[in-house]
Amino acid sequence: MFRQFFRSSFTRWKLTRRSPSGYPFLWHSWLHSSCTDYQVTTVGLLSQKWTIHFSLNGISEPQQSSDLIIANVLNLPTLYNVPPETILTEDQVDQVTLKCEKRMQRIPVQYIIGEWDFCELTLKMMPPVFIPRPETEAEIYLSIYLSIYLSIYLSIYLSIYLSMHAY
């Protein structure tokens, strides 16, 4: 139902938009065109295009997926400091296209980009390896905090106890 609503509202939106010269944008052909004809060259437009493709095909976390894939092709951890008007080379667009087509097959982003950050470590990801979850990372930090707290508490307690019973 969401998909049908999204398509109909997107169709209405694209028909009402006009370019600065007054001609209607060809959003439909832009959305369904192949990236190999090198129409989309900036980070912002490529991210938008793949986010829409992922959304229409029910891929989870479409914006994050497209941004992580583009950042990986640019050898960056994220697109946070990359201006959307940054122009990509044809080779970079081809790499993004290949990786995004893998994502369209519902392959996890972690396997596509080949690495994932976990507890301040960058882990290499391959299909037989389990993907670390954010909840696990929070539990690890909690257990580290508790172990440090308990070790400090025990050392203070033992020093007090030993000082009382030393004489």
| 24 SS3 class | strand
**pTM score above 0.85:** no
CA distances for 60 relative to 2, 33, 71, 103, 109, angstroms: 14, 22, 18, 10, 10
pLDDT for residue 7: 52
* Rg of the chain taking only CA atoms, in angstroms: 25
Q: What is the pLDDT of residue 17?
A: 46
Task: Enumerate residue ranges in the chain where pLDDT < 70.
Answer: 1-40, 166-167
Burial 62-80 (b: 16+ CB within 10 A, else e): beebbbbbbbbbbeeeebe
Encoding tokens for residue 71? 């950042």
43-131: CATH topology is Helicase, Ruva Protein; domain 3 (1.10.8)
Is the CB of residue 123 less than 8 Å from the CB of residue 110? no
User: What is the amino acid identity at position 8?
Assistant: S
Indicate the domain borders of the chain. Answer: 43-131, 133-166
**Per-residue pLDDT tens over the stretch 127-142:** 877 777 777 778 888 8
